[in-house]
Amino acid sequence: MKKMEFIHHGVTNQKINFKNMKSNFEEKKEARAEKYQELAAKNEQLSDSAYKAAHQIGDAIPFGQPILVGHHSEGRHRAALKKIDNNMRKSVEASKKAAYYEARAESLLSNNAIFSDDPNAIDKLQEKIEKLSARQELYKQCNKIVKSKKSDLEKVDALKAIGLKEATAIKFLEPDQWGRVGIRSYTLTNNNAVINNAKKRLEFLEKLAKVVTSEIEINGVTIKINAEDNRVQIFFPGKPADEVRTELKRAGYHWAPSVGAWMRQISDYAVSQAKYVVNKYYPTAV
């Protein structure tokens, strides 16, 4: 992995305040969850209102009353049925949205995924790697025992000795439809791939932790490497032209109204693309 080059000379740097990062991360996480909960409640209310509206219209029509074709009530009857159908559709759609946002909130609050923005990400990744590595070694020990020349009873005892439950040990000795026993090779391969990916992320985050906040200015545009927020932020003197915004979106940048900048997570690519776009379009872009 290439060394991250985020520190720029001739600018004022500030150290990362991990306490503030942790606080900001948790606050943003809770704010997103709260927003999802609000949207869930709003859509649940819309669903309930639409459902009640449909029933109120339906209650005005005598039960089992057919449309009287040619009668002066035909138009009103058809319009009422259409309103009932529209409201029921709105009720169902709003209910689905409510369930979706509620699930998003629940997922966010209970998510065990390790986010790069999490100030505890390094510790969590180290713990994850240790657990996965221990699991990999256990898998290897299991296969060594299962494929040994010991009797099945001795194998079960040996597997129990390294921490397996008896039922699990017995299951490992039962061949599948292809005659395979023990831990499958693809399980070992997949677990090892996860370990390697986690190590790469850990290496990246350890380098990222050494990054300091800095700014550079190119043709009136400020590019800020914001270490505390883990973002590369681009501040333009005015609204960028359409082609500039299109280029930024292609590079993974998005507009953040609360900050007044285009930004994305810190990476070598993010910094290089910011410089590329600014050098390409400014000062000619409006």
Rg of the chain (C-alpha set): 30
Domain range list for the chain: 18-110, 121-208, 214-281
Q: What is the mean pLDDT of each run of 10 residues along the chain (286 residues)?
A: 40 44 59 79 83 80 72 78 85 85 68 64 88 92 93 94 91 83 86 88 80 87 89 93 92 92 89 91 65
Q: What is the pTM of this model?
A: 0.47
pLDDT score of 133: 94
DSSP string, 108-159: HHH-----TT-TTHHHHHHHHHHHHHHHHHHHHHHHHHHTSSS-HHHHHHHH
pLDDT score of 286: 46
Measured distance CA(206)–CA(2) in Å, rounded: 13
